[in-house]
Chains A and B, each alone.
Chain A
């Protein structure tokens, strides 16, 4: 197979290939180390981290749906101090860029986590999660209005020197205007999509299948929605787009890049195949080689219209 240049750039961040893990589906990477050599990955994106520990929601937290799943984990995490001491310390020696997903109930909460992470050399970039549908305050509340999104991005931009990726919610009328608003505040990249708000009801018990009632839909079921949104956003903003939503194989990853993504993230697919990320990297390289494409980055925005 001819050598394909798999490197991509996300602003100042150079990745050895465009495939990263989607936040919350890969732990801190350690949990998958039996299945994946982490140094093969473009980047590891960690689960959401807040200032204080969060307990998350009650069980049941997941339900299987047609070609997808609902989750309402609720950003359970041990807080940024424990995260730095354990997860980050472990990840630091793994020869893989680490992108930390940052969450908060308030703007001050996001800022405090970003400030704390500023002291950690192992952090390659921040991904600001303003799009989690599974918490009552903060989370998606920031990501569904231009003002809310702009305000939190501005505040975090002021305290971090790291590349700042902002993760967008699909649960909005116009994702493009949110993307433009965060770009204007200095976001270095946008990632999309987070999960779509959904619900499933058990017709035997008449109860919601999730204890929280509603949750976030992920998996192949959301892929066409995600591809459409990546396509819309990529043509509207100047910063790189990281695409995700139901990527199961290399063709799916290529589809996102054709729509305009510079890199992609793999989430739910890890549950089906714990080595999905590596299979997608290998497949993407083959995909390019078979078509005589020398650099994977050439796929970005190469849709023919």
Chain B
């Protein structure tokens, strides 16, 4: 397994280059952040300060969707107070971030075929990964699930670098009608996969992990937890694993699926 040598994180002043809506409730912000852009690895994240003052005591963690040329891109969903405020930030504004943070995706030695399974904003940490895998000559299949065709994200990027893409939408407006996990068993069976990478709602990741285990394919998941420090100090972000409680911000967010002790599914969360 190759996991990139950890590059120490730093506080970086970043300037907003662009911030635009790319789908219903989903935005893409591009930031000039040279240090992070040149050192971030696929699956790592930045801890972004939304505004000065004490209105947002906690930073917000976001995966780096793409990086290069001194800039990083973050694909984000407007969920609550923080992300709604982020959507109003204009180009030229300076923000500060801590990055690069976390342990990202690992590419097994000699991997030839990989499956990426994304639900909703789960595509965010998979953009850099798809590009990296393609560059390394790995044949990539992407399976993406979304509420509707208009919410399938970053199609150009993935269709450009992936050998194959498969879609599922809740309303059937594109691809299969239903959950993406209906398509994945077939995709897993069709290929002699070396690795499966997944990110999205935790119940989805759990199903993908089970399907991978059944097929005997290594699987990595990227888990979200509420985070305060982002650097491993406060123990806000723990994930239960067979090796005890681990911190999503430094030991993850990417974990081997086989190590995860899945917590009982909470009620489906209601979000306004």
Which A residues touch B238, using CB under 8 A?
Answer: 56, 59, 61, 76
Question: Closest Cβ of chain B: how far from A69's Cβ, in Å?
Answer: 5
Contact with A along B233-247 (1 / 0, CB 8 A): 111111000001100
Shortest distance in angstroms between A248's beta carbon and chain B's nearest beta carbon?
Answer: 7
Q: Which residue of A lies closest to B234 (CB)?
A: A25
In the assembled complex, the Cα of A103 lies from the Cα of B76 at a distance in Å of 40
B57-A268 in contact (CB<8A): yes
Indicate whether A55 sits within 8 Å of B245 (C-beta atoms), given known contacts A25-B233, A34-B10, A69-B58. yes
Interface: A62 (CB within 8 A)? yes
Which residues of A lie under 8 Å from residue B56 when comparing CB positions?
64
Task: Say which residue of B9, B228, B271 sits within 8 Å of A34 (CB atoms).
Answer: B9
Chain B residues lying within 8 Å of A69, measured Cβ to Cβ, are 57-58, 228
User: Does A90 sit within 8 A of B, measured CB to CB?
Assistant: no
**Total A residues in contact with B, Cβ cutoff 8 Å:** 38
Find the residue from B57, B98, B225, B263 having the highest chain A CB count within 10 A: B57
Per-residue interface assignment for chain B, residues 134 to 156, with 1 indicating a CB less than 8 Å from any chain A CB and 0 otherwise: 00000000000000000000000
Q: Is B59 engaged at the interface, CB distance under 8 Å to the other chain?
A: yes
Please tell me if A173 contacts chain B, counting CB pairs below 8 Å: no
Q: In this assembly, does B265 line the interface, its C-beta being within 8 Å of a C-beta of chain A?
A: no
* Bound: A207/B229 CA distance, A: 24
Cβ-defined partner of B236 (8 Å) among A35, A62, A68: A62
Stretch at the interface among A120-128, A138-146, A184-192, A270-278: A270-278
Is residue B231 contacting chain A, with contact meaning CB distance below 8 A? yes
A56/B54 in contact, CB under 8 A:
no
Selected from A219, A268, A274, the residue in CB contact (under 8 A) with B98 is: A274
Say yes or no for A24: interface residue by CB 8 A criterion.
yes
A33: nearest residue on chain B (CB-CB)? B8
Contact check, A31 vs B229: say whether CB atoms are below 8 A apart.
yes
Contact with B along A256-284 (1 / 0, CB 8 A): 00000000000010111111000000000
Contacts of A60 in B (CB 8 A): 225-226
Q: Is the CB of A274 within 8 A of B235?
A: no
Establish whether residues A27 and B54, one from each chain, have CB atoms under 8 Å apart when the complex forms: no
How long is the Cα–Cα vector from A270 to B267 in the complex, in angstroms?
33
A24, A71, A76: which contacts B245 (Cβ < 8 A)?
A76
Given contacts A56-B235, A67-B54, contact A61 B267 (CB under 8 A): no
Taking the closest CB of chain A, its distance from the CB of B77, in whole angstroms, is 15
Does B214 touch A at the CB level, under 8 Å?
Answer: no
A271 in contact with B271 (CB, 8 Å): no
Contact of A205 among B59, B225, B270 (CB under 8 A): B270
Further 19 A-B residue pairs, CB within 8 A, beyond A27-B229, A67-B57, A73-B235: A24-B235, A25-B233, A26-B233, A31-B231, A31-B233, A35-B10, A59-B226, A59-B238, A62-B226, A64-B56, A65-B57, A68-B54, A68-B57, A69-B228, A76-B238, A205-B267, A270-B229, A271-B230, A272-B59
Residue ranges of A at the interface with B (Cβ–Cβ < 8 Å): 24-27, 31-32, 34-35, 47, 55-56, 58-65, 67-69, 71, 73, 76, 204-205, 207, 219-220, 248, 268, 270-275
The 6 closest A-B pairs by CB, nearest first: A27-B233, A31-B233, A67-B54, A204-B270, A31-B232, A62-B236
List 19 contacting pairs A-B, 8 Å CB cutoff, sorted by A.
A25-B233, A27-B232, A31-B229, A47-B235, A55-B245, A59-B226, A61-B235, A62-B227, A63-B226, A64-B58, A68-B54, A69-B58, A204-B270, A205-B267, A205-B270, A220-B54, A271-B57, A271-B230, A274-B229
B residues sitting closer than 8 Å to A (CB atoms) are 8-11, 49, 54-59, 98, 225-238, 244-245, 250, 263, 267, 269-272
